[in-house]
Structure 1
């Protein structure tokens, strides 16, 4: 019997996703870093000259240890745009963000939650591996479609209740994924920084949770699908480029890329 786990043989993962790159990200990052929580920040490269936005010269250092993903050059509501504009919004944003961070940018958050089947079909050819919606699922499960990745909840949607529920899960046969999203400026607007602080205090620094960026979750789950076994499960092959963690009849096994036999 084989159960795949997250890295470190954990069966819980936590990731977050915050949009727009406003200066309030600085405070949010201070809180996240204090509690060891990691996530993804979706930026608009064409808006960084605005006074309330984080400037280009701060991007690489500020978001170090986290992921930077695309959110459209100008934050257009892309389902209303010609496909040529959609391509430019995403590809040009990706190129600019890669230049600023020195890293491959492969994620996307739909601006204003706007997308269509046609846009989803286009994203792989633009080098985008996943895209987050603005629709709360209320669930702690893997996405059925990485190009329509519905998060668990917005931070204003019963966040602490969700956190308590997530922490209480302890069935080893399940892989739980808690995904929080929002905009950091909302904490200033709603005067509720205490909510995210309490959330991080509750969920951070735990041995049973894998803290990951959106891309890390996506790539790991894709890598798991590259593992195949013999019928008796004594021979396993990991066709990915990263280690895969699993439980085989209760025994912890880390499969490095390539062939593994028991």
Structure 2
């Protein structure tokens, strides 16, 4: 059998959660994630913080510590309906403000209303965005073909059914279970118990890497950047990320700058 690449610590699967808008219900959601060891990515409209049911800008850094803060534009418009200069301003200014608040580079995004076109993608990439989530769902656990149009596995209304299938899933390594939604929906639908059940079901699974969207993106990009010899027997890692692999029923790592000869 040839080399197979794995997630960190030799895991074969990853779970990531993705929630939009930066609403006050995120406080309860983050608490559940923290208690369960689950990681989330939270897509924030920086221009609507401190208003209505949105969180306070002063609490953003502490609330989402250990998770990922990601762009969702300044004011949540339909991007494809804006002039090019406004698309750029909505994305770049959202990045700038979120980075100011959370203290690290913000390079992920989700599209407001889940809509975009090729021009929106090109402008987002020019603003330093490396992935963006849609509101489409695949129903599966595959790797996205295009990180700038990243489809989740499911909305959280299907998470219990899909979670049960994911627990049993072992057909191939590098499977991704990606759940998205809005935390206010749990108040609207009086179904916080479903997220509580999901967190209990998905917590502490030995074959699952719990990761944010950006962590998954960076890890898969590191795998794609590996350089192999013509016969596949030598692998060089030019990245700053340690990559895990399995070969001949043994698990190993390829550290940054390391060349590994498989035998």
TM-score by length of 1: 0.97
Equivalent residue number for residue 227 of structure 1: 226
SS of aligned partner of 1:225: helix
Equivalent residue number for residue 44 of structure 1: 45
Equivalent residue number for residue 243 of structure 1: 242
SS of aligned partner of 1:135: strand
1:39-188 equivalences under 5 Å are: 39-156=40-157, 158-171=158-171, 173-188=172-187
Equivalent residue number for residue 193 of structure 1: 192
Distance in 1 (alpha carbons) for counterparts of 2:146 and 2:231: 30
Equivalent residue number for residue 14 of structure 1: 15
CA contact (8 A) 1:73 1:90 kept: yes
Distance in 2 (alpha carbons) for counterparts of 1:142 and 1:239: 22
Distance in 2 (alpha carbons) for counterparts of 1:11 and 1:34: 23
SS of aligned partner of 1:133: strand
Distance in 2 (alpha carbons) for counterparts of 1:41 and 1:211: 15
Q: Identify unmatched segments of 5+ residues in structure 1.
A: none
How far is 1:126 from its partner?
A: 0.5
CA contact (8 A) 2:5 2:173 kept: no
C-alpha RMSD of the superposition: 1.0
How far is 1:259 from its partner?
A: 3.1
SS of aligned partner of 1:131: strand
CA contact (8 A) 2:25 2:183 kept: yes
In terms of mean alpha carbon deviation, does 241-250 or 144-153 score higher? 241-250
SS of aligned partner of 1:179: strand
Distance in 2 (alpha carbons) for counterparts of 1:127 and 1:143: 19
TM-score by length of 2: 0.96
CA offset digits 1:113-165 (Å, max 9, x no partner): 12111111222211101000001111101000000000000011x22110010
Equivalent residue number for residue 217 of structure 1: 216
SS of aligned partner of 2:222: helix
CA offset digits 1:30-80 (Å, max 9, x no partner): 111110000100001100121311111100000000000000100111111
CA offset digits 1:10-30 (Å, max 9, x no partner): 110000110011100000011
How far is 1:175 from its partner?
A: 2.2
Distance in 1 (alpha carbons) for counterparts of 2:87 and 2:243: 35
CA contact (8 A) 2:13 2:209 kept: yes
How far is 1:192 from its partner?
A: 0.5
Q: Identify unmatched segments of 5+ residues in structure 2.
A: none
Distance in 2 (alpha carbons) for counterparts of 1:202 and 1:179: 15
How far is 1:205 from its partner?
A: 1.4
